[in-house]
Amino acid sequence: MSRRFTPKVVTANALLEGDNVWLTEDDRWSRDMAEAEFIEDEAHGQIRLLFAQSQASVVVGAYLADAKMGQCGPEPTHFRETFRTRGPSNYHHGKQAEESTHV
């Protein structure tokens, strides 16, 4: 018996910067998961994943990640994706460095 499809977003890493990015409905790559296209249909998810994988000059490692709809847009449902929304794990780079200047 196959598993029931759960909502997803397409995610990858930006080729040049390495940042985590999410595919938007209008075919942009955003560094904000809340802007990602929320996918509720398995066939549509596969089509969007194929599109993402065809963008080899822009992103690497594209995959479908579980998501839920939040108040501001898609949100992660797994700790790995939550961690990815925070940027690099070395503190003074990317999103984490930006957050430390607002404290």
How confident is the model at residue 79, as a pLDDT? 75
How confident is the model at residue 1, as a pLDDT? 66
Whether 2 is covered by a domain: the verdict is: no
How confident is the model at residue 49, as a pLDDT? 98
Whether 95 is covered by a domain: the verdict is: yes
How confident is the model at residue 93, as a pLDDT? 54
Whether 1 is covered by a domain: the verdict is: no
Whether 41 is covered by a domain: the verdict is: yes
Whether 22 is covered by a domain: the verdict is: yes
Residue 93 has phi, psi (to 5 degrees) of -140, 155
Query: pLDDT tens per residue, the chain (103 residues)?
Result: 678 899 999 999 999 988 899 999 999 999 999 999 999 999 999 999 999 999 999 999 999 999 999 999 999 988 778 767 776 655 555 565 666 555 4
Whether 69 is covered by a domain: the verdict is: yes
Give the domain range for residue 81: 8-100
How confident is the model at residue 31, as a pLDDT? 93
Q: Put the strands of the sheet holding 59-69 in their side by side order.
A: 29-30, 20-23, 8-14, 59-69, 74-76
Tokens of 40: 């509720």
Whether 44 is covered by a domain: the verdict is: yes
Residue-wise DSSP of 36-87: SPPB--HHHHHHHHHHHHT-TTTEEEEEEEEEEE-SSSEEESSHHHHHHHT-
Whether 39 is covered by a domain: the verdict is: yes
Domains: count for the chain: 1
